[in-house]
Amino acid sequence: MIDFLTGPVVHIESEYLVLNVRDVGYRVFMPSPYVFAGKEGPVTVYIHHHVREDAILLFGFESREQQTLFRKLLDVSGIGPRVALGVLSAGKPDAIAAAIQTENLTFLTKLPGIGKKTAQRMVLDLKDKLGLAADAFGLTAASLSDPAGAAAAGGQGAGTAWEEAREALASLGYTSAELDKAWSGLKNSVTPEETVDSLMKRALQELFKG
């Protein structure tokens, strides 16, 4: 099994990036591939090696915490790799773990692909498991009392998300004027739950409009 890959990023799409590891290109699906946009030199991506009858897929994460939480989410009935990726694209591991620990269904049902029944299963299946691994997710009294605040502090607030998205787009060659124009078309519809990845996609749509 592959646990991590290290190499330069040679290509990025909205759902995946390609790492060059000893002249082999590995396609790795990630919650937010653009987190590595503009990085020079080798980067390390933590891997979940997913094997099924019709495909072998690599899912990647920028931290061990993301990798660990992704694997725990897969243990929940009704959550597959794509839904788990969506969950991690919308919140930091400590915020998601805190919401599960505190049975905050309101927070959990705002995550992509998570309805009320799935949120209840997350709490039922993972609350005790995450309790045993609180340190691994950096759970603090603040995150347990306010997981939504922890998500924003971790970089998932709309303002910070746009800053990260803007930086990634700038590394792709877009000018400040182009990015300001894209933001002017987006800002009135941006929500606090907006992720870097979704803002990247929406900004690119605005840029393609000309």
> Tens-of-pLDDT digits for all 210 residues of the chain?
899 999 999 999 989 999 999 999 999 999 988 888 888 899 999 999 998 888 899 999 999 999 999 999 999 988 999 999 989 988 788 888 888 988 999 889 888 889 999 999 999 999 888 764 555 555 444 444 555 554 444 444 455 677 777 887 777 777 888 888 888 888 777 776 677 778 888 888 887 765
- Assess if residue 152 is contained within a domain: no
CATH of the domain at 25: 2.40.50.140
CATH of the domain at 122: 1.10.150.20
In this structure, are 167 and 133 located in the same domain?
Answer: no
- pLDDT value of residue 138: 53
Give the C-alpha separation, 154 to 95, whole Å: 8
Residue 146 three-state SS: coil
In this structure, are 142 and 163 located in the same domain?
Answer: no
Domain end marker among 12, 32, 61: 61
In this structure, are 57 and 80 located in the same domain?
Answer: no
- Cα angle value 23/31/190 (rounded, 5°): 135
- pLDDT value of residue 150: 47
In this structure, are 142 and 83 located in the same domain?
Answer: yes
- Assess if residue 67 is contained within a domain: no
- pLDDT value of residue 160: 64
- pLDDT value of residue 158: 52
- pLDDT value of residue 117: 94
- pLDDT value of residue 140: 47
Give the C-alpha separation, 2 to 47, whole Å: 6
- Assess if residue 97 is contained within a domain: yes
- pLDDT value of residue 152: 43
Kindly report the pTM of this predicted structure: 0.67
Instruction: Provide φ and ψ at 58, rounded to 5°.
Output: -115, 125
- Assess if residue 81 is contained within a domain: yes
In terms of residue numbers, what domain contains 139? 76-147
- pLDDT value of residue 192: 67
* Short-list 118, 114, 125, CA closest to 91: 114
In this structure, are 139 and 163 located in the same domain?
Answer: no
Total domains in the fold of the chain: 3
- Assess if residue 71 is contained within a domain: no
**Sequence-separated (6 or more) residues with CB below 8 Å from residue 150:** 92, 94, 95, 98, 140, 142, 143
